[in-house]
Amino acid sequence: MNYQLLIESYSFGTALSEQEIELLSLELETQIMNINISAEFGCFKSAPSHICERLKLKKNTSWIMCLAEILDSHKPTTSGKTKSVEVFDLLLEKGLVIG
C-alpha cells in the first residue's frame, strides 16, 4: 500500500496496525537513505492541507515530515533525536528547508 494513502487514512481516524507502522518506518528509512533521489518520488511535496490540519501540523508540511511525525507518535524514541528532528536536520543540511 502507498504510504501516502496510509497517512491519509490515519488522518481520518483509522488506527494503524503494527504491520502498517513497520511499513511506514521502512518507507521513511528508504527515503532517508535515498535522499538525493527521493525528490523524484514526491516525498518533499506538501501534503494536502486537510492532512496537515488533522495531524496538527503546519499547512504545506512535506509528506516526509508527516511520515516522521506519525512514526514519532507511534514509536517514541527513548534516547537521541526523534524521527522528525532527524528528518528536519537532514533536509536543512541538503538545503531543502530553511531553518
98 occurs within a structural domain = no
Q: Which residues of 9-61 form beta strands (DSSP E)?
A: none
Number of domains in the chain: 1
Give residue 77's pLDDT.
86
23 occurs within a structural domain = yes
52-63: average pLDDT: 93
Give residue 38's pLDDT.
62
99 occurs within a structural domain = no
Give residue 10's pLDDT.
96
Q: Return d(Cα 19, Cα 56) in angstroms, integer.
A: 24
Give residue 99's pLDDT.
62
Given CA atoms 18, 88, 45, 57 in this order, what sign does their dihedral have? positive
43 occurs within a structural domain = yes
60-88: average pLDDT: 92
51-74: average pLDDT: 94
